[in-house]
């Protein structure tokens, strides 16, 4: 019995599996796929609503979030997130508005928003690839988005 043939077959199988896995993982970080993997607009709306409802109740954010109506802001935030994640939504805010909005919050408020965003994201998905993709796309601009919605 030749030992070389099964070893070649096994090596080919391992290489093929690694290439397939790399292809799938590479697609997982595509923004369009993150939106789809997340569950589409229903999940983005849930994330937006959970995040705003949670943030409005935080005493650390009372100074800024007291001016925000979560019911009115949630659809705008959901559309903004959808667009940022590669969905087919029109973003209600421009990059300039987000940049201007960031000046309305201080570092501790942005940090508090980040905490609420993280816990809200955990409530809508357990997929680590989705969490990473959503966090990379949205978290760096979250303070500016909320500031622009005020």
Rg (CA), the chain: 20
pLDDT at 4: 57
Main-chain phi, psi angles of 72, to 5 degrees: -80, -35
pLDDT digits (tens, 9 = 90+) for 7-45: 455 545 455 444 444 444 444 445 557 899 999 999 999
Task: Note the CATH number of domain 31-149.
Answer: 1.10.490.10
pLDDT digits (tens, 9 = 90+) for 39-67: 999 999 999 999 999 999 999 999 888 87
Ramachandran quadrant class, 90 (left: phi over 0; alpha: psi -120 to 50; beta: rest): beta
Question: For the chain, which residues make up each domain, given as ranges?
Answer: 31-149
- Whether pTM > 0.85 for this model: the answer is no
pLDDT confidence bin for 111, thresholds 50/70/90 = very high
Q: Is 95 exposed, middle or buried (0-12, 13-18, 19+ CB in 10 A)?
A: exposed
Distance CA 37, CA 97 (A): 28
Q: Is the pLDDT of residue 125 over 90?
A: yes
Ramachandran quadrant class, 39 (left: phi over 0; alpha: psi -120 to 50; beta: rest): left
pLDDT at 68: 85
């Amino acid at each position: 019995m030749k030992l070389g043939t099964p070893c070649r077959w096994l090596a080919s199988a391992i290489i093929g599996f690694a290439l397939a896995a790399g292809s799938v993982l590479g697609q997982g970080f595509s923004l369009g796929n993150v939106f789809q993997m997340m569950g589409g607009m229903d999940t983005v709306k849930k994330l937006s609503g959970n995040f705003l409802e949670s943030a409005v109740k935080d005493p650390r954010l009372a100074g800024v979030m007291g001016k925000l109506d979560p019911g009115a802001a949630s659809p705008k935030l959901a559309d903004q997130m959808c667009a940022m994640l590669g969905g087919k939504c029109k973003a209600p805010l421009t990059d300039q508005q987000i940049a201007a909005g960031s000046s309305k919050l201080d570092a501790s408020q942005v940090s508090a928003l980040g905490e609420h965003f993280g816990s809200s994201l955990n409530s809508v998905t357990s997929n680590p690839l989705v969490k990473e993709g959503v966090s990379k796309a949205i978290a760096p601009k979250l303070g500016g988005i909320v500031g622009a919605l005020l």
